[in-house]
Structure 1
């Protein structure tokens, strides 16, 4: 089998994890093919000022469709809510931490008014504004290592990142604070991977063995909120679902760019009703968009 992936250190680390898991299952080697995506080629723009649908995934998905590769590994938060009709998410492996973290030489409490925080995320910008810390927000782009270096080199005083990526790259020593999920709510799907195949792929049944049911249900609820609202990163929306036994809880918060809370809601359902839960919460939120 051949797997398609982006060429960043994180993407390759995630892909190698999947390759090793598949080797354990099948005892067969998986070849890696690196494919550069549109998002990798753009280094200056704020993502929310662009048409970001499939920015980091569409070239990989095209390679799957054209059978250049058998499957692709994505960060699930990058996967559009509407896939090509011939593709599907064959598996969602066990989820890493969905939390957001602060990378800085200063703690969140010690960041004073006028401190610079680098981010190209409208959601993170909105949360910073909500907490009225008076931070100077500056655009920052690049892979995880590049953004960490910009903080360590003093280009900015701090940045906010996904804990999952730092965990996967062994950079946990760079974490100054870990935010709770309700204090700084992540985007739908953060911390999870999506393995994309063609619907008619012979590899699909083997890849499905990597699926983690609880993780799949969590991200299904979160992504359903996005799908039903029809919004992308142009709106500051945080969504997080968590499984506790046979119960699934879903929390979403919608902000303005200035940090005003438009609506927030928390609902629960049995674990097998993730999609219905996401639809119900989105329906409650639609009138505020």
Structure 2
């Protein structure tokens, strides 16, 4: 087989990452017969450090930087990421080549007695590694006790049984992609919990100057997903959010219009700013920036400043 028909695909080595990468490869094979694909597993900082909450690791690209380095050096031809992990600012030599059709972006609750959030016992212990989930859970019920929970889906489900937890919150998309068949106590509605930017979507990252790979992956791009992710990522970029900032957002497309809603929370959920915006899908990025600007002016700037100061204080004391 000629080198022109060979493609090296970069992926994290986790079970979910490989499921996502193998799905991308199977779709590319259907649409590009005759190509040969090989997966190159690459471990990221976020994979290597599993004993600390993500919010304490700092920086951006916790699950993408090493893949992007391999891409820039030509060791891989494309990288498959969960969109929520992709920094809003890409290296100038890289681009998002495709965003396939989005899975369900909701968060899901799995509880020991199959109770929903309203019916969980007083002071229920809930496991999550996400500040965004933590803040919105506490905004809904301040009595909840939120515990840090890292690890893959199997690990988290096991900890639900062994760590004296009443429930865990995970991405519904991950459950679906992993083929999870156990009980889901609640698909958490957006009026209680907005997802992470890009949640449920994949991003295929490529080099800007690689026309061969750009043509190869472009067939996987879903226009509506791309527009929605563009609006959400523009909002996040304006807010300068990262994994240490409790920000949720979701965009959907209806009749050539983007409907975007977002939330900024204090870490304890005691103060939230929630707003929405809509407009032509051709102006998705501008809509995201406009909504972010509005939220910053209505108190979001102060909340984010306080959270970043608190985060920096924790880092300085490590």
Coarse TM-score class (shorter-chain normalised): over 0.9
Helix, strand or coil at the partner of 2:80: strand
Aligned to 2:28: 22
Return closer, same or farther for 1:154/1:45 CA change in 2, 3 Å cut-off.
closer
Helix, strand or coil at the partner of 1:277: helix
Q: Is this contact kept in 1: 2:140–2:192, CA < 8 A?
A: no
Q: Is this contact kept in 2: 1:100–1:184, CA < 8 A?
A: yes
Q: How does 1:19-168 map to 2 (within 5 A)?
A: 19-27=25-33, 28-106=35-113, 107=115, 108-153=117-162, 155-168=164-177
Cα deviation 1:184-205 (Å, max 9, x = unaligned): 1001000000000000112111
2: CA distance between counterparts of 1:154 and 1:60? 33
Number of residue pairs matched by the alignment: 289
1: CA distance between counterparts of 2:51 and 2:222? 36
Deviates more, 1:147-156 or 1:219-228: 147-156
1: CA distance between counterparts of 2:219 and 2:238? 29
1:189 lines up with 2:222 in the alignment: no
2: CA distance between counterparts of 1:138 and 1:65? 38
Cα deviation 1:20-77 (Å, max 9, x = unaligned): 0010011122111100111000111111122140000000011111111100000000
Structure 2: state its 5+ residue gaps. Answer: 1-6, 302-318
1:280 lines up with 2:293 in the alignment: no
Aligned to 1:241: 251
Cα displacement (A) at 1:257: 1.0
2: CA distance between counterparts of 1:261 and 1:73? 36
Q: Is this contact kept in 1: 2:84–2:197, CA < 8 A?
A: yes
- Structure (1 or 2) with the larger CA radius of gyration: 2
1:5 lines up with 2:14 in the alignment: no
RMSD: 1.2
Structure with the bigger percentage of helix: 2
Cα displacement (A) at 1:172: 4.3
Q: Is this contact kept in 2: 1:112–1:133, CA < 8 A?
A: no
2: CA distance between counterparts of 1:155 and 1:183? 24
Cα displacement (A) at 1:154: 5.1
Cα deviation 1:135-154 (Å, max 9, x = unaligned): 22111110111111211345
Question: Hey, which bits of structure 1, 4+ residues long, moved more than 3 A?
Answer: 152-155
Structure 1: state its 5+ residue gaps. Answer: none
**Normalising by structure 2, what TM-score?**
0.88
